[in-house]
Structure 1
Amino acid sequence: MMGARPCAIAVLLAWSLIAGTLGQLSDDQPPQDSLSPPTPASPIAAGEKQFRVVYEWNVLDFAFENEDERAHALYGGHYIPKNVLISDCKPYANRLYLTIPRMLPGVPATLGYVVRPENNGRTDPEIVPFPSWEMNERGNCSALQFVQGVAVDKHGIMWVVDSGRTETLTRGKEHVVCPPKLLLLDLKRNGTVVLRYSFPESVVPAGNNYLNKIVVDDAFGGFGYITDNSGADPGIVVFSRRLIRSWKVRENNSMRAARNAVRFAVNGTELNFSIHIDSIALGPYYNPNLSPDQPAPDALVSNQNFERNVYYSPLSSYHLYSLPASLLRDPEFNARATPRDILEAVVDYGQKPSQTDGMFMDNRGVLYYGLLGEHAIARWDSYQPFTAKNQQTIAKDAAYIQWVDSMGIDHEGYLYVVVNRLHNFVAGRLNPAEVNFRILRAKTGALSYVYTPDNLFNTDGKFLYTGASGEPFADNGLVYQYEGTTPASSRLAAAGILGAAASGAERSIGGAVGVLVVLGASIVRRLGAW
């Protein structure tokens, strides 16, 4: 084993403070010699634009009420610019919502927003605390303490994960320990709290957790799938909005750091990170009883025929894994399941060229993910095998892409990517004279996974379609019923309010509402672009 340089040791110690005890490692295989390198950096697809920098900051600032308030915060240590880092970014309407985890002292707010680039005259805008300064008060356990991951569902509800622990990069210093919680904020009502839930100690311990990223699933009243990469007890925390209940799914082989993937380099900085399950994404619906390449003779029967995959990866791993969403959603199964039961449900898709922190799925089943050691952003069509050939690098730049932390897609089809030099931040090596934080953007023509039209089946086998563009078409609801036994001989009976599109299946599939869904292959095979 090669000797670690001082900066690598410092980074390892710093990150171990974030995640707690490093805990057990899993065995993983290094990339094989036959794994070909990704394709060169290129536009995302023909006719689509490359990534552009829309925001960049040397250090991050906040929209204080006035200069006296800023001066008071600086003097009192409530705002220490070099200690502030953005982690997650989720666009909604005219805003980009940002998370600012309190890893170090001097972070005045842990959740905020900036206005979208088209309506912002600055490339380094001040962050506006959200929902308010009061809701970001450090030490107030009713307020937000440490937010790293958020998700916005198709109803405009933001799911906010709060670990409850602050100053996680410090050792032996005063820090806040509040009960970890989940808040649901209504973005249409300027962040009104619609649900507040504290996780039980048996699921998420207050003093030893690291709730990281979250994806949301509309099924059965709404679920959140949250990664906890704490050293002692990593896993996927599941929250049911209908049951107001949570539980944790654990699997040591796929959710723990891999021994061969803890060492890598970013821009020449050697790292030694033993970080467990981190990135997570939710795929489109499919029929698990059918081959993806074969037609579905009885496509729309009931909800029981449909499945979604929850994709995930430890940060310290080359592999991409998944579990069925139905398994995660079942508290009774998870209460009685043995480790072998969970392991048998895990799918190992194979290897990526490097470690990944941020990933995001669009509504066409395309997964976007960062490659930390490659200074790159890649994509994979989840309808295709996870081979080196099908993993396409769409952006690569050692100067601009240093640590992809998170991603999000807006209602216009723009993919936003947070790049934050986290490797330098945890080692205390950020240079305020340089650009340290960037938000990149590229047009993909897709929407967020939450707007996937094929995720709206009810238990009667009906398909509720709310419009390919999401919120602007939320009132134009259509219900389709599958009436035949084969796609070639059957029809859809349509009832709705969208004029010509409601007159028959043929017109609705290719007409005014755009392409809906092909009743064949994996049920949700797309027909052209949305």
Structure 2
Amino acid sequence: MKAVFIFSVLLFVFHNSQSLLPPRFQWKILDYAWEGRAREAALTSGAYIPENNMPTGITRWKNKLFITVPRWKKGVPSSLNYIYINGSQTQPLNPYPSWNEAFVSDKSCCISSNSTVVSTFRVHVDKCDRLWVVDNGVADMTNELKQIAAPAIVVFDLNSNRLIHRYVLQDDVLRDSSVLTSIVVDTIGKGCDNTYAYIPDMGSNALIVYSLGANAAWRVENHYFHFDPHSGVYDVGGVQFHWSDGISSVVLVPSKRSSSYRDLYFHPTSSTKQFRMPTSLLRDDRFATENTFNGVQVLGDRGPKSQATACDYDHSHNVIFYTQLSRNGVSCWNLDREMTRENVPLVISDCLILEFPSDIKVDKESNLWVLSNRQSRFLYGSMDFNQVNFRVLTAPVGAVIKGTTCERLSTVERALSFIMRPKSKFT
């Protein structure tokens, strides 16, 4: 009888578009899987200040869930970490790839290993079982900014937990205001060498493109990467603030116009509009600026108060999911439908459990993962560490979108939507 009751509750949760997914993991305060008496030593030295640790990014690989903790403030011992999918709800974070390589003190002058990640926001796992990380290399971002290492792209082999490559980003692709918030990767063909990484620079309104084959990076600027002044005001968790954040999250989607490239869907954080451009314009650093500008399509508007820090794409259902800061939830959009306010429904929402949804990912099994972290309180207000502050929620995509406009269209409906879709000049 108990099992039947639980199943019935889950059915209600999944079919109610305004309901809540039960948290898979949650913490009042973040702690780490310390070795020996290292925790006491870190507390004494200030290398670990529990209240200054806040997670911002997640991604799943097999039995691990990677969790990033940027060095917003002092006392963050490890920025790149993981927990076990089948572990306890409040399990401590394991530094990746190891304590020796992940640990960084705020007093450090530099990194001791190329495998060290100083500070990262969001990470990506590609089809070759590689973990891609963009390291900003800074500590104490809210006070006395300290550049411990040069910004870099760091790539790990997840099967061996070994560093594959570290590429230091040069000054010509960065600006003084650069903030590298995420990374997505496109691996072309059957091998793993022909790979491109796309890195939004939220702080200076640009996109950095990196070619693994050429081992080179270049900067792409575009007016569409900038924030919308009408969408810069936020009110989350009772904290009001203003952000002028530009492009911060992108996803790659198979193109229906060509099999030789994919489409890059992007949006600035402080915006409610959705844009698209072909990666053919981004892979070639010789393309003129006016070509990349003209190659952008404005696809539509998600509606008022729909600013999103992150998004991800589920290929099985052809759906993009968005975190919804001002609405304490998650919305979705079926790419076969026109982007209108009605076609981007809020499928999960809760002002307590999903206060400030920071990151969202879809794994290879089409499970949705959402991280909420009360970031507005962490940065601009105060946190109550006697309460649960950080949560990770998960559910199958099909269950989340059931009964909404994000469900898969029929064959006829998809054909009609493709016919009516605006065509790009670039193929």
Normalising by structure 1, what TM-score?
0.68
Equivalent residue letter for 2:313? M
Inter-CA distance 319–43: structure 2 relative to 1 (3 Å threshold): farther
Equivalent residue letter for 2:314? D
Matched, 1:100 2:69: yes
Equivalent residue letter for 1:324? P
> 2 CA distance for matches of 1:349 and 1:383?
12
Inter-CA distance 174–238: structure 2 relative to 1 (3 Å threshold): closer
> 2 CA distance for matches of 1:401 and 1:128?
24
Please name the residue that 2:28 is paired with.
58
The answer as to whether partners of 1:287 and 1:522 remain within 8 angstroms in 2 is no
Matched, 1:385 2:338: yes
Q: Return the match for 2:352 from 396, 399, 403.
A: 399
The 3-state SS of whatever aligns with 2:391 is strand
> 1 CA distance for matches of 2:66 and 2:54?
14
Please name the residue that 2:103 is paired with.
137
Please name the residue that 1:154 is paired with.
127
Query: 1:162, CA displacement in angstroms?
Result: 0.2
> 1 CA distance for matches of 2:15 and 2:345?
10
Query: 1:519, CA displacement in angstroms?
Result: 12
Matched, 1:88 2:54: no
> 1 CA distance for matches of 2:357 and 2:59?
14
Please name the residue that 1:124 is paired with.
90
Equivalent residue letter for 2:353? Y
> 1 CA distance for matches of 2:389 and 2:299?
33
The answer as to whether partners of 1:50 and 1:443 remain within 8 angstroms in 2 is no
Q: Which runs of 4+ in 1 moved over 4 A?
A: 42-46, 518-523
> 1 CA distance for matches of 2:15 and 2:28?
31
> 2 CA distance for matches of 1:88 and 1:342?
29
Please name the residue that 1:323 is paired with.
277
Query: 1:409, CA displacement in angstroms?
Result: 2.4
> 2 CA distance for matches of 1:380 and 1:64?
42
Equivalent residue letter for 1:64? W
Equivalent residue letter for 2:355? Q
Matched, 1:311 2:265: yes
The answer as to whether partners of 1:78 and 1:107 remain within 8 angstroms in 2 is yes
Inter-CA distance 380–520: structure 2 relative to 1 (3 Å threshold): closer
Please name the residue that 2:212 is paired with.
241
List aligned pairs for 1:159-174, cutoff 5 A: 159-170=132-143, 173=144
Please name the residue that 1:360 is paired with.
312
Matched, 1:348 2:298: yes
Query: 1:82, CA displacement in angstroms?
Result: 0.7
Deviation by residue 1:134-172 (Cα, 9 ceiling, x = unmatched): 2223233332111112100011100111011111111xx
Query: 1:412, CA displacement in angstroms?
Result: 3.2
Inter-CA distance 389–44: structure 2 relative to 1 (3 Å threshold): farther
Matched, 1:188 2:159: yes
Query: 1:278, CA displacement in angstroms?
Result: 1.1
Please name the residue that 1:250 is paired with.
221
Query: 1:389, CA displacement in angstroms?
Result: 2.0
> 2 CA distance for matches of 1:124 and 1:235?
37
Query: 1:132, CA displacement in angstroms?
Result: 1.1
> 2 CA distance for matches of 1:519 and 1:269?
45
Inter-CA distance 521–266: structure 2 relative to 1 (3 Å threshold): closer
The 3-state SS of whatever aligns with 1:386 is coil
Number of equivalences: 379
Please name the residue that 2:409 is paired with.
none
List aligned pairs for 1:338-487, cutoff 5 A: 338=289, 340-353=290-303, 354-364=306-316, 365-445=318-398
The answer as to whether partners of 1:320 and 1:350 remain within 8 angstroms in 2 is yes
The 3-state SS of whatever aligns with 1:417 is strand
Equivalent residue letter for 2:270? S
> 1 CA distance for matches of 2:250 and 2:22?
25
The answer as to whether partners of 1:266 and 1:423 remain within 8 angstroms in 2 is yes
The answer as to whether partners of 1:44 and 1:444 remain within 8 angstroms in 2 is no
The 3-state SS of whatever aligns with 1:135 is helix
Please name the residue that 2:171 is paired with.
201
The answer as to whether partners of 1:148 and 1:212 remain within 8 angstroms in 2 is yes
List aligned pairs for 1:491-502, cutoff 5 A: none
The answer as to whether partners of 2:132 and 2:156 remain within 8 angstroms in 1 is yes
The answer as to whether partners of 2:66 and 2:81 remain within 8 angstroms in 1 is yes
> 2 CA distance for matches of 1:156 and 1:522?
33
Higher Rg: 1
> 2 CA distance for matches of 1:283 and 1:50?
28
Equivalent residue letter for 2:90? D
Inter-CA distance 521–197: structure 2 relative to 1 (3 Å threshold): same
Please name the residue that 2:255 is paired with.
285
Task: Give structure 1 stretches of 5+ with no counterpart.
Answer: 1-41, 289-302, 447-517, 524-530
Q: Give the aligned CA root-mean-square deviation in angstroms.
A: 2.4
Task: Give structure 2 stretches of 5+ with no counterpart.
Answer: 1-11, 400-413, 420-427
Query: 1:209, CA displacement in angstroms?
Result: 2.0
Equivalent residue letter for 2:97? P
Inter-CA distance 381–45: structure 2 relative to 1 (3 Å threshold): farther
> 2 CA distance for matches of 1:409 and 1:44?
17
The 3-state SS of whatever aligns with 1:431 is coil
The 3-state SS of whatever aligns with 1:188 is coil
Query: 1:520, CA displacement in angstroms?
Result: 12
Query: 1:276, CA displacement in angstroms?
Result: 1.3
Equivalent residue letter for 2:280? S
Query: 1:308, CA displacement in angstroms?
Result: 2.1
Equivalent residue letter for 1:152? V
Query: 1:521, CA displacement in angstroms?
Result: 8.9
Query: 1:283, CA displacement in angstroms?
Result: 1.4
Q: Which has the higher contact order (CA 8 A, sep 6+)?
A: 1
Query: 1:316, CA displacement in angstroms?
Result: 1.0
> 1 CA distance for matches of 2:391 and 2:339?
29
Query: 1:43, CA displacement in angstroms?
Result: 6.1
Query: 1:401, CA displacement in angstroms?
Result: 1.1
Equivalent residue letter for 1:218? T
Deviation by residue 1:278-308 (Cα, 9 ceiling, x = unmatched): 12111123126xxxxxxxxxxxxxx44xx42
Query: 1:215, CA displacement in angstroms?
Result: 1.1
